[in-house]
């Protein structure tokens, strides 16, 4: 009996020793961190889903309209991927008139990351679809999570579809949502502060009202607002060095994915102001030849046809005005027609 009692005392002594205390502290700390994490997650979800929307009029909100439209449109159809150069330069109504089939653009703010647009569209690619990507330099590992989350605000379905590569940025994005929707309104009420405006007050084109329900820009853009002459820091250049092997591999894998699903993937080129392009004609031809040697997807557009004059461009060297968008969209539709005719 004494031996049993001594053993019990020894166990209690060990449990109360430094190791036991450290274990209890670690367990308590873990419980506190878990509770804090759950509380933070609850606050974020309430701000994201339940509080009045703050970003519903923003430019990046158009990705929600494009996503919903894509879900509702049956294959076969044409899907044009890209960033703001597509938002400004591709007119789906013009392309549908030329092709006699549904057309959908998918993509907007470059700060959201090109990879995000590719990731979202993959689940919808079906038999007979034609996916066109006017190629421009990009980091395929980048996700602009904070900007994405302001665009999809209130849409739990799109929040849950955040790609694995973007999850690590959710924390930063959630902090921005909480700050804008909870802290700043409180600060405004208490200290009469001013909440940051989401839309660009100097250019109302960056507003959801500039788009139709499909996410195509329909606001008229008549003039050219680009500096004349174009400042050197605003000029763009096609350069092989800006197209990594990883980027080309990503596009080739996407091409294979499309073919597996009975779809076709084509590469094209975006609109560029002639004065804002730093390449010579020889350099353009060399880049075009290089791209065709690297990509498995056909390049269906003559790179020279996408170089636009000043009266066809709007507020940046890759943003077309309404006139330029109509011309570019008809040209792109003709390129797609020729590509369809050449398919085996």
Burial of 202 (0-12, 13-18, 19+ CB in 10 A): exposed
Instruction: Please write the tens of the pLDDT for every residue from 119-162.
Output: 999 999 999 999 999 999 999 999 998 889 889 988 989 988 88
Instruction: Please write the tens of the pLDDT for every residue from 74-127.
Output: 999 999 999 999 999 999 999 999 999 999 999 999 999 999 999 999 999 999
DSSP-assigned letter for residue 138: -
Instruction: Please write the tens of the pLDDT for every residue from 199-239.
Output: 444 578 999 999 999 999 999 999 999 999 999 999 999 99
DSSP 232-284: GGG-B---GGGS-HHHHHHHHHHHHHHHHTT-EEEEE---EEGGGB---HHHH
pLDDT at 21: 74
Instruction: Please write the tens of the pLDDT for every residue from 240-289.
Output: 999 999 999 999 999 999 999 999 999 999 999 999 999 999 999 999 99
pLDDT at 195: 40
Domain coordinates of the chain in residue numbers?
A: 2-50, 67-142+207-342
Q: Identify whether the C-beta of residue 342 lies closer than 8 Å to the C-beta of residue 259.
A: no
Mean predicted confidence (pLDDT) in 277-304: 97
Q: From the centroid of its chain, how far is CA 343?
A: 30
Percent of the chain residues topping a pLDDT of 70? 79
Q: Identify whether the C-beta of residue 55 lies closer than 8 Å to the C-beta of residue 198.
A: yes
Q: What are the φ and ψ backbone dihedral angles of 128, each rounded to 5 degrees?
A: 85, -5
Strand-by-strand arrangement of the 103-106 sheet: 103-106, 78-81, 130-134, 264-268
Say which residue the tokens 């999570």 belong to. Answer: 145
Mean predicted confidence (pLDDT) in 157-185: 74
Distance CA 340, CA 162 (A): 33
Mean predicted confidence (pLDDT) in 321-328: 98
pLDDT higher at 2 or 136: 136
**Residues in CB range of 234: below 8 A, 6 or more apart:** 226, 227, 276, 316, 317
**Residues in CB range of 313: below 8 A, 6 or more apart:** 224, 226, 271, 273, 276, 319, 320, 321, 324
pLDDT score of 13 more than 90: no
Burial of 198 (0-12, 13-18, 19+ CB in 10 A): middle
Mean predicted confidence (pLDDT) in 181-192: 58
Instruction: Please write the tens of the pLDDT for every residue from 142-153.
Output: 999 888 988 998
- Fold assignment, 67-142+207-342: Rossmann fold (3.40.50)
Q: Identify whether the C-beta of residue 240 lies closer than 8 Å to the C-beta of residue 256.
A: no
Tokens matching residue 10: 């020894």
Distance CA 344, CA 164 (A): 36
pLDDT at 149: 86
pLDDT at 28: 72
Instruction: Please write the tens of the pLDDT for every residue from 22-68.
Output: 767 777 767 676 665 566 666 666 667 777 778 889 999 999 999 99
- The helix (run of H) or strand (run of E) holding residue 68 is helix 62-72
Q: From the centroid of its chain, how far is CA 101?
A: 25
Instruction: Please write the tens of the pLDDT for every residue from 19-28.
Output: 667 767 777 7
Distance CA 16, CA 18 (A): 7
pLDDT at 166: 75
pLDDT score of 173 more than 70: no
């Amino acid at each position: 009996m004494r031996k049993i009692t001594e053993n019990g005392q020894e166990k209690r002594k060990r449990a109360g020793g430094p190791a036991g205390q450290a274990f209890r502290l670690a367990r308590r700390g873990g419980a506190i961190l878990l509770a804090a994490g759950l509380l933070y997650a609850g606050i974020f979800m309430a701000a994201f889903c339940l509080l009045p929307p703050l970003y519903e009029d923003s430019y990046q909100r158009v990705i929600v309209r494009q996503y919903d439209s894509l879900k509702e449109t049956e294959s076969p159809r044409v899907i044009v991927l890209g960033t703001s150069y597509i938002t400004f330069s591709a007119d789906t109504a013009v392309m549908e008139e030329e092709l006699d089939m549904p057309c959908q653009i998918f993509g907007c703010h470059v700060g959201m990351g090109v990879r995000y647009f590719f990731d979202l569209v993959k689940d919808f690619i079906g038999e007979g679809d034609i996916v066109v990507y006017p190629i421009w330099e990009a980091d395929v590992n980048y996700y602009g999570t904070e900007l994405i989350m302001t665009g999809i605000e209130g849409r739990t379905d799109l929040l849950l579809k955040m790609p694995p590569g973007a999850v690590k940025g959710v924390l930063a994005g959630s902090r921005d949502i909480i700050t804008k929707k909870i802290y700043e309104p409180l600060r405004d009420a208490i200290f009469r502060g001013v909440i940051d405006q989401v839309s660009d007050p100097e250019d109302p084109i960056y507003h959801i009202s500039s788009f139709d329900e499909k996410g195509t820009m329909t606001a008229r853009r008549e003039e050219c607002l680009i500096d004349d002459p174009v400042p050197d820091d605003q000029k763009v250049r096609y350069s092989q060095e800006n197209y990594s092997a990883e980027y080309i591999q990503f596009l080739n894998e996407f091409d294979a994915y499309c073919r597996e699903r009975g779809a076709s993937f084509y590469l094209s080129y975006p609109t560029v102001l002639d004065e804002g392009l730093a390449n010579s004609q020889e350099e353009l031809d060399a880049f075009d030849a290089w791209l065709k040697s690297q990509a498995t997807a056909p390049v269906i557009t003559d790179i020279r046809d996408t170089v636009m004059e000043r009266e066809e461009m709007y507020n940046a060297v890759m943003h077309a005005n309404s006139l330029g968008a109509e011309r570019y969209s008809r040209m792109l539709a003709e390129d797609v027609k020729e590509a369809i005719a050449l398919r085996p």
